[in-house]
Amino acid sequence: MKLTAVLSAITVAAPLLVAAQNCQSIYLQCGGINWTGSTCCASGTVCTDLNPYYYQCLPGTASSTTATKTTTTTTKPTTVPTTTITATTSKPTTTTTTTTATSKPTTTTTATTTIPTTKTTTTTSAAPTTTASAGNPYTGQKLYTNSLWITHMQSSVAIDSTLSCAVGKLSTAGQSIWLDTMAAISLIAPALADAETVSGGAPIIIQFVIYDLPGRDCAALASNGELPATDAGIATYKSDYIDPIVAAFKLKASNIRLVLIIEPDSLPNILTNANLATCATSAPYYREGIEYALSQLANIPNVYMYLDIAHGGWLGWPNNLSGIVPIMQSVLTAATALNSAVASAVRGFATNVANYSPTHANGVAPVIGATLSPGTYNGVTYEEYEGNPAIDETTYVQLLTQEFAGTGLPAHFVIDTSRNGRAGIRDAWGDWCNVNGAGIGYFPQASPDSTTPSLDAYTWIKPQGDADGTSNTTAPRYDAHCGLADSLPNAPQAGQWFHAEFDMLVKNANPAIAGC
């Protein structure tokens, strides 16, 4: 059984029950690749093979049935339920100008306030003349949900049964699959096959994150990649990462639409962290890798790509808003020279990937106890913090839209709202690791804000519950940001399941998860 829901209605999905005995209760997991729990289902339910990674106890006539397939080992899994995106309206907020900041990734309903939408043009070098694929790719589409994420959420339900209602709703909302290693490429084929089954031939989106550049995460340690920033590393990235991904994607059914989030953190690091030796070394490989990736991925039918463009607390200062433009122009121009299809395949940019910047700050400063100040940017009055007008992601998208006018850059955006429901919860704006007090933000939605027409969608890119990085100071990938006072303690390695964080995100969801 595959679950579907209308995104704007967040009210469907059967509640998940917790097993109180040896056999699993209805709707709990009972088997699949890497599953180590019970394979027995309670009376009145049958252990049903939904996909190779996820068997579920569903209503049936057999009593006390057991999964007929055993588990094998592999890396991460694929995806399962779906959700239909419908356009709605929402609201923004206000904010203005100055210098730098840094950050990194790994990796709900609305209020009202209006924001100026004046645009100015910025002068810069030749534009790539990108014309994104016709129309908003999310409108009227179903979204596919990562089944490993569902399995992880079920493990949290087993610890805390009060999470079962929320997990039922989240399981239908649509979630991304991170291709963060070469081994993770094996997730593509089963995900595409399952999506074809789930969709019944109707249009459906699978969202993947491309994330394995040489020298990845050059300004932090928690999610360093597997490839070195060397000539050999970039050659491997092309031949053993991008090329196999393209080959796998080309086998998809024609009704499957791919939305690809391209290399979080990489190009923003080129702008703000060029002073770090690691980033200076990585920069040319970031450019070459992304240019190659775009040129090859553009050959796939029905593909829409969004380049990562950090978040307002990183690039929202005026110098950074203008500074990122020539970097994006250069990369897109070079990629388009390699393959003219890039011009239509690159839809725009993704903000707040795996971060915590709120969609709407509603007058709350990004730092605990801080206050906002009046300021101006391009002649428009904003509230700002330390000279940065982009105190929330809606404002950031609006400022980028202004900055891109006349540059040839495709001014279409998505915001990762997976963990950004709470404003003003950090001790410093640049704190990014397992932030204490965070909550789930808006559920995925197409065209969510009528005052910001350049915003294609709210979407979930970072799976809620996946850790940002370990708090273990002796771990090789320990990053000091993960040991700060505003970070959750006892965190596992980046990408591993962190029950305490998931529990917090659900219970701090803002707006609260409807019906729970």
Is 468 catalytic? The answer is yes
Q: Cβ neighbours of residue 200 under 8 Å, at least 6 residues apart?
A: none
- Widest CA span of the chain, in angstroms? 71
Q: Do residues 203 and 326 share a domain?
A: yes
Up-side HSE of residue 264: CA atoms within 13 Å toward CB? 28
Confidence of residue 341 (pLDDT cuts 50, 70, 90): very high
Claim to verify: residue 91 and residue 37 sit in the same structural domain: no
Alpha helices in 222-276 (DSSP H): 231-236, 243-249, 266-272
End-to-end CA distance of the chain: 22
Q: What's the rounded Cα separation, in Å, for the pair 287 and 310?
A: 16
Q: Which of 43-52, 167-176, 228-237, 355-364 has the lowest mean pLDDT?
A: 43-52
Backbone angles phi and psi of 398, in degrees to 5 = -65, -40
| 56 confidence band (pLDDT: 50, 70, 90) | low
Are residues 215 and 306 both part of a single domain?
A: yes
**Residue 212 and residue 314 in one domain:** yes
Q: Are 462 and 105 in contact (CB under 8 A)?
A: yes
Residue 73 in any domain: the answer is no
Q: How far apart are CA 43 and CA 27, in angstroms?
A: 13
Q: Are 331 and 290 within 8 A, CB to CB? A: yes
Identify whether 70 is part of a domain: no
Q: How many Cβ atoms from other residues are within 10 Å of residue 234's Cβ? A: 21
Q: Are residues 90 and 220 in the same domain?
A: yes
Which pLDDT belongs to residue 63? 39
Q: State the Cα–Cα distance between residues 146 and 125, nearest whole angstrom.
A: 40
- CB of 144 closer than 8 Å to CB of 79: yes
* CATH code for position 106: 3.20.20.40
| pLDDT for residue 349 is more than 80 | yes
Kindly state the helix (H) or strand (E) to which residue 305 belongs, with its residue range: strand 303-308
The answer to whether residues 54 and 92 belong to one domain is: no
Strand partners, 445: 458
What's the structural domain count of the chain?
A: 2
Tokens linked to 37: 């729990």
**Active-site annotation holder among 308, 431, 466, 468:** 468
- Residue 72: inside a domain: no
Q: 423 exposed, middle or buried (CB, 10 Å; 0-12, 13-18, 19+)? A: buried
The answer to whether residue 515 sits within a structural domain is: no
147 falls within a domain: yes
- Say if 514 falls within a structural domain: no
* Active-site annotation holds for 456: no
365 closest CA partner among 318, 313, 311, 417: 313
For residue 23, what is the DSSP state?
S
Res 85 pLDDT > 60:
no
> Is there a single domain that holds both residue 401 and residue 444?
yes
State phi, psi for 73 to the nearest 5 degrees.
Answer: -105, 140
Choosing from 212, 217, 392, 456, the catalytic residue is 217
- Are 266 and 314 in the same domain? yes
Please check whether residues 378 and 431 belong to one and the same domain: yes
Whole-structure pTM over 0.75, yes or no? yes
pLDDT tens for each residue of 214-232: 999 999 876 688 999 999 9
Q: Which domain holds residue 11?
A: 7-59
Cα–Cα distance between 325 and 271 in angstroms, integer?
10
Tens digit of each residue's pLDDT (9 = 90 or more) over 191-211: 999 999 989 999 999 999 999
Per-residue pLDDT at 291: 99
For residues 304-340, b (16+ Cβ closer than 10 Å) or e, as one string? bbbbbbbbbbbbbbbebbebbbbbbbbbbbbbbeebe
- Alpha-carbon distance of 488 to 218, in angstroms, equals 23
Residue 371 lies in a domain: yes
Question: What is the rounded CA–CA span in Å between residue 72 and residue 452?
Answer: 47
CB 397 within 8 Å of CB 451? no
* Whether residue 468 sits in one domain with residue 360: yes
Which of 442, 454, 345 has its CA nearest to residue 398?
454
Q: Give the span between the Cα atoms of 359 and 451, in whole angstroms.
A: 13
Strand 45-51 to 54-59 pairing: antiparallel
Domain for residue 64, yes or no? no
Q: For the residues 365-373, what does the mean pLDDT come to?
A: 97
7-33 pLDDT tens trace: 333 222 322 222 333 787 655 667 765
Arithmetic mean of pLDDT, 446-457: 97
Q: For residue 160, indicate whether it is catalytic.
A: no
CB 261 within 8 A of CB 309: no
Same domain, 50 and 100: no
Give the pLDDT score at 293.
Answer: 99
How far apart are alpha carbons 320 and 313 in whole angstroms?
10
- Annotated active-site residue in 194, 212, 265, 431: 265
Residues 268 and 398 in one domain: yes
Give CA 491 to chain center in angstroms: 20
d(CA 160, CA 172): 20
Q: Which residues of 180-204 are buried (b: 16+ CB within 10 A; e: fewer)?
A: bbbebbbbbebbbbbbbebbeeeeb
